[in-house]
């Protein structure tokens, strides 16, 4: 791909997809027909105007992908014309996101999760069964995909297909349906999970749980999309719940129902208290961010409030791509108005004029519910002068890192920025920005309504409030559970029904792929920031993935290594190279062929891990060895002394 204009033309369908988002071109300067004499004299979209539209690059690429199933050269060129972005630059963005395809991809695609929680619950059997039927249609999520292996099978290969499969073959494009592997889809409570995307004039996306090979096969064959139950109600009495109290009890699509359940009372109270008092209350509550970094929320709010540069932006981080995490999805799907209300309070307190919800691309229902909640709240005049826009991710874990979110919203590759400057000083579009996680925000109305003291009375002095735990893997009732900070790991696992009859516990992965494995003899660990830190582990994003004796934890370790290798943005050498070397070493160890012996191999992993931790730009590289190190040293998985 070059910096010059692309010499392929967009099809009418591709133009229509892009124009539906951007509106019709105004002149030849932004992709309209050439030859209008007026355009020779006047540029209506030069300089500043064209730079101001750059942030629409990812939405435009997503619109194209949703309409035709992939980003062709002609389609990309048309977007470049419309937004005045150099093709090489746009190509860099298009190839960054796993949900976007830059080589022909079928219109109907099933993304099957083969990540850890799904592995624990049969995902490998699903992919194995499909692989033998549909080998021509298998992609790797992160491969650029070559037309030869997927899209344009040879005549002899096509002859081997069943009649149904042959009927799906689209000349020049290939099979009309296919499947590919995906990292965690955030539906681990209903593992194994799959995301179905169907491109077209009315594109469809469905996140499915409890998938089987037969069900996927039916979908690939063009059969009906039976979504099945979307949610199991919390298995806790409502008296124990704060954040989950509306889940399955209050209609998430009704503003009236939300208000009848106390919704928007916190906003009214906050407006009456005044911004300074709201921030004081947040600080006194002791709330710490729930996105993984556990930063004190009140301090962050105050720092944004104090910034004199304008405008201030608010970003709700709903990227939730940490394997094993699905709490934010449940909140967004089941209590979307609460997120909108919390954002209006945060915006009021910190002086933000505009908010963005950056939601992972794999969450179609959550995005739809939030969109509806924003529209209904705006129509009812509840947003005041503040407004919220939804931006969807493109399938990149790194885009949850707070500065990578900014890059992605601004229309660039989601590569983290060096810090400082910190987002509170110079964040989105270079302006002071408040970034908060969905669950963090969901606590805000409760703190305002009940008061900081009541909030801080739950949990421990250093870890206040309740926490959402994502129970997955080999527990009887996977799901989201809400428990006071300080509840033991054992009690949380018991809330999810414990292990299946007759099984024994092998390990628990705490905090996700960026977390650590803990041993069965560590279940009395109190789940607080201070206790987990002291025990050399982390709460992370609330992942509690339980692994019993039906699963070989070494498979999970390999999956973690593959995840980090895939998801590293590649910007800095320690992480880009380290995640590859680490995966290679683990493969050699898993195969029983450690280079130079086990001790040498582990020493290499330690050295690579330490380098990634010390020298990587962002948290991805800094934590890429954490779970693997715990598997080696805490579980002793590789030296025969372990679980």
Q: Which is nearer to ligand FES, 209 or 427 (CB)?
A: 209
Site string for ligand SF4, 572-611 (x = CB under 6 A): x--xx-----------------------------------
Selected binder of ligand SF4 within 131, 498, 570, 590 (CB under 6 A): 570
Decide: residue 598, CB within 10 A, 0-12 exposed, 13-18 middle, 19+ buried.
middle
Round to whole Å and give the CA distance between 441 and 186: 19
Question: Counting contacts by CB under 6 A, is residue 616 touching ligand SF4?
Answer: yes
Nearer to ligand FES, 186 or 411 (CB): 186
Residues forming contacts to ligand FMN in the complex (CB under 6 A) are: 289-293, 295, 317, 319-322, 397-398, 400-402, 435-437, 440, 618-620
The answer to whether 617 contacts ligand SF4 (rule: CB under 6 A) is yes
| Residue 184 partner contact from ligand FES, ligand SF4, ligand FMN, none using kind-dependent CB cut-offs of 5 to 8 Å | ligand FES
The torsion region of residue 262 among left (phi > 0), alpha (psi -120 to 50) and beta comes to left
C-alpha distances in Å from residue 185, one per residue of 283, 323, 584: 34, 8, 25
Q: How far is CA 245 from CA 240, 262, 394, in A?
A: 8, 11, 31
Q: How far apart are the C-alpha atoms of 133 and 162, rounded to whole Å? A: 9
Helices (H), 419-572: 438-442, 444-450, 452-456, 489-495, 529-534, 553-567
Would you call the peptide bond into 192 cis, given omega within 30 degrees of 0 as the criterion?
yes
H-helix segments, 239-295 = 255-260, 265-273, 275-285
Cα(56)–Cα(101) distance, integer angstroms: 18
Query: Tokens 């705490």 correspond to what residue?
Result: 510
Q: Is 193 in the site for ligand FES (CB under 6 A)?
A: yes
| Closest CB to ligand FMN among residues 321, 350 | 321
Residue 568, beta-bridge partner list = none
User: Smallest distance, Å, CB 111 to ligand SF4?
Assistant: 22
Nearest alpha-carbon partner for 537 in 512, 562, 554, 559: 512
CB of 642 to ligand FES, least distance (A): 23
Q: Candidates 230-238, 297-305, 491-499, 567-575 — which segment interacts with ligand SF4 by CB under 6 A?
A: 567-575
Tell me the C-alpha distance between 81 and 388, whole Å. 28
Q: Is 641 helix (H, G, I), strand (E, B) or coil?
A: coil
Taking CB under 6 A as the rule, does residue 56 contact ligand SF4? no
Task: Decide whether 193 or 483 has the Cβ nearer to ligand FES.
Answer: 193
Which parts of 68-127 interact with ligand FES (CB under 6 A)? 113, 115-118
Query: Shortest Cβ distance from residue 191 to ligand FES (Å)?
Result: 5
| Contacting residue, 444, 508, 569, 637, with ligand SF4 by CB under 6 A | 569
Which entry of ligand FMN, ligand FES, ligand SF4, none binds 176, CB below 5 to 8 A by partner kind? none
Among residue numbers 393 through 432, which ones bind ligand SF4 (CB under 6 A)? Answer: 398, 415-416
* Interface of this chain with ligand FES, residues 6 to 65, rule: CB under 6 A: none
Q: Give the binding site for ligand FES (CB under 6 A).
A: 113, 115-118, 184-188, 191, 193, 323
The footprint of ligand SF4 (CB under 6 A) covers: 398, 415-416, 568-572, 575-576, 616-618, 620-621
């Amino acid at each position: 791909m070059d910096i010059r204009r692309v010499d392929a033309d967009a099809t009418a369908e591709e133009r229509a997809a892009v124009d539906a988002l951007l509106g019709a071109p105004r002149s030849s300067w932004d992709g309209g027909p050439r030859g209008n004499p007026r355009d020779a004299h006047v540029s209506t979209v030069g300089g500043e105007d064209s730079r101001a539209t750059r942030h629409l690059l990812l939405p435009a690429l997503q619109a194209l992908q949703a309409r035709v199933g992939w980003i062709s050269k002609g389609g990309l060129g048309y977007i470049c014309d419309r937004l005045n972005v150099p093709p090489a630059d746009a190509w860099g963005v298009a190839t960054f996101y796993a949900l976007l395809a830059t080589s022909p991809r079928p219109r109907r695609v099933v993304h099957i999760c083969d990540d850890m929680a799904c592995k624990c619950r049969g995902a490998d059997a699903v992919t194995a069964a499909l692989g033998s039927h549909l080998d021509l249609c298998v992609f790797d999520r992160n491969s650029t995909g070559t037309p030869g292996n997927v899209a344009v099978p040879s005549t002899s290969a096509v002859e081997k297909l069943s009649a149904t499969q042959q009927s799906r073959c689209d000349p020049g494009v290939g099979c009309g349906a296919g499947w590919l592997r995906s990292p965690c889809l955030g539906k681990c409570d209903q593992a194994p999970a799959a995301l179905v995307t169907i491109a077209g004039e009315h594109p469809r996306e469905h996140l499915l749980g409890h998938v089987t090979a037969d069900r996927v096969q039916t979908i690939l064959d063009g059969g009906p999309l039976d979504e099945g139950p979307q949610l199991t109600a919390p298995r806790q009495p409502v008296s124990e719940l704060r954040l989950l109290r509306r889940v399955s009890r209050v209609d998430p699509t009704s503003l009236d129902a939300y208000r009848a359940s106390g919704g928007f009372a916190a906003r009214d109270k906050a407006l009456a208290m005044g911004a300074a008092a709201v921030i004081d209350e947040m600080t006194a509550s002791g709330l710490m961010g729930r996105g993984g970094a556990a930063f004190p929320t009140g301090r962050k709010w105050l720092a944004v409030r104090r910034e004199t540069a304008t405008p201030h932006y608010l970003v709700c981080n709903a990227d939730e791509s940490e394997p094993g995490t699905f709490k934010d999805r449940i909140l967004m799907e089941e209590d979307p108005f609460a997120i909108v209300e919390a954002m209006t309070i945060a915006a009021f307190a910190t002086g933000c004029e505009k908010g963005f919800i950056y939601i992972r691309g794999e969450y179609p229902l959550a995005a739809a519910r939030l969109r509806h909640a924003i529209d209904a709240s705006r129509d009812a005049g509840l947003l005041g002068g503040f407004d919220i826009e939804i931006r969807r991710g493109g399938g990149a874990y790194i885009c949850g890192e707070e500065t990578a979110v900014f890059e992605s919203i601004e229309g660039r590759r989601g590569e983290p920025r060096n810090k400082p400057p910190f987002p509170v000083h110079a964040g989105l579009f270079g302006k002071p920005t408040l970034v908060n996680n969905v669950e963090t925000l969901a606590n805000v109305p409760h703190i305002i309504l009940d008061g900081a003291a009541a909030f801080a009375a739950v949990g421990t002095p250093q870890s206040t409030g309740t926490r959402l735990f994502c129970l997955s893997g080999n527990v009887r009732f996977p799901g989201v559970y809400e428990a006071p900070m300080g509840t033991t790991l054992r009690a949380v696992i018991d809330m999810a029904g414990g292990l299946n009859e007759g099984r024994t516990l092998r390990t628990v992965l705490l905090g996700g792929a960026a977390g650590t494995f803990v041993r069965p003899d560590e279940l009395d660990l109190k789940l607080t920031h201070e206790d987990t830190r002291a025990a050399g582990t982390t709460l992370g994003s609330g992942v509690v993935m339980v692994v019993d004796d039906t699963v070989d934890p070494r498979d999970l370790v390999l999956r973690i290594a593959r995840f980090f290798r895939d998801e590293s943005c590649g910007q800095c050498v320690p992480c880009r190279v380290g995640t590859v070397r680490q995966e290679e070493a683990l493969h050699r160890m898993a195969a029983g062929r450690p280079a130079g012996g086990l001790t040498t191999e582990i020493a290499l992993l330690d050295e690579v891990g330490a380098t990634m931790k010390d020298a990587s730009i962002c948290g991805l590289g800094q934590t890429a060895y954490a779970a693997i190190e715990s598997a080696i040293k805490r579980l002793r998985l590789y030296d025969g002394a372990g679980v």
